[in-house]
């Protein structure tokens, strides 16, 4: 699946997007964040406060217990500040 | 009743008078147009801001705005909606966002414009980065914006 990062999440991870293949034991957004956090210090820093991170699956906002099965694109970002 | 909805995300500036003219041309059913402009301020919590950079999530930003525009159209008797959100780097005084709502009467236009702005601020994937004399930093979301959006939630 494709993963995108925005704003300070992007800056901390150090890239705007990538393709990942998490193991099948990673089933929810929460579990994906935990799995990503274990990849390196950069990811751990980006996701150090998982409750602050907002997630979208295929362009729609989802909660942290949402299933990631079948997702084409998952995006992680801070609370939005547009307008 | 037809209600054309125009949504644009662009770097270029917008002309409010022109956008209102486009929304109302050849229409005789519109009795009210409400216009909201969001403008880059030169100060934030008494700190001087030299510039703002707006980042967005292409694709989702348009879709999320569209969902809220559709909801506004279903909740109020609107005759037209225009939403323009700029992205890029802006100096104080520059336009950032425009919301136009047209209706037969003013109440629907006022309420729909407020609803759209409250949801744009909390749910549309845009992020602001500030530049000031002390450096650059991402703008933090305000609880007051979440509260403003929450009052439109229907139980």
Per-residue model confidence as pLDDT tens digits over A12-53? 999 999 999 999 999 999 999 999 999 999 999 999 999 999
β-bridge mates for residue B97, sequence order: B38, B85
The ipTM of this complex is 0.95
Q: CB contact, 8 Å: A22 with chain B? A: no
Above 80 in pLDDT, residue B155? no
Contact flag A82-B124 (C-beta cutoff 8 Å): yes
Mean pLDDT of B50-68: 97
Name the percent of chain B lying above pLDDT 90.
81
Binned at pLDDT 50, 70 and 90, residue B57 comes out as very high
Alpha-carbon dihedral of residues B115, B61, B124, B13, nearest 10 degrees? -70
Measured between CB atoms, which of A6, A75, A81 is closest to B139?
A: A81
Residue of A nearest to B138 (CA): A8
Q: Which residues in A lie closer than 8 A to residue B139 (C-beta atoms)?
A: 81
State both tokens at B82.
């225009």
pTM score, whole prediction: 0.94
Nearest 5°: the CA angle B95, B56, B127 is 75
Cβ contacts of A78 within 8 Å, gap of 6 or more: A6, A7, A8, A9, A52, A53, A54, B127, B138, B141
CA distance A2 to chain B (A): 14
Residue B124 pLDDT more than 70? yes
């Amino acid at each position: 699946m494709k993963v995108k990062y925005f704003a300070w999440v992007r800056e901390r991870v150090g890239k705007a997007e990538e393709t990942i293949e998490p193991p099948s034991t990673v089933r929810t957004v929460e579990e994906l964040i935990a799995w990503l956090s274990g990849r390196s210090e950069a990811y751990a820093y980006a996701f150090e406060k998982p409750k602050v991170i907002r997630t979208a699956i295929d362009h729609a906002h989802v909660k942290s217990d949402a299933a990631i099965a079948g997702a084409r694109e998952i995006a992680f970002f801070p609370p939005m500040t547009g307008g | 009743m037809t209600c054309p909805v125009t949504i644009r995300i662009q770097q270029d500036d917008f002309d409010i008078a022109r956008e209102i003219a486009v929304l109302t041309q050849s229409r005789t059913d519109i009795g009210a147009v409400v216009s909201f402009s969001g403008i880059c301020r030169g100060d934030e919590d008494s700190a001087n801001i030299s510039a703002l950079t707006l980042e967005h999530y292409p694709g989702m930003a348009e879709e999320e705005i569209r969902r809220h525009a559709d909801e506004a159209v279903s909740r109020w008797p609107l005759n037209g909606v225009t939403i323009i959100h700029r992205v890029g780097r802006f100096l104080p005084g520059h336009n950032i966002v425009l919301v136009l709502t047209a209706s037969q009467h003013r109440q629907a236009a006022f309420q729909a414009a407020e609803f759209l702005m409250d949801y744009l601020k909390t749910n549309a994937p845009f992020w602001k980065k500030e530049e000031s004399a002390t450096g650059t930093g991402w703008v933090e979301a305000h609880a007051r914006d979440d509260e403003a959006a929450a009052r439109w939630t229907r139980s």
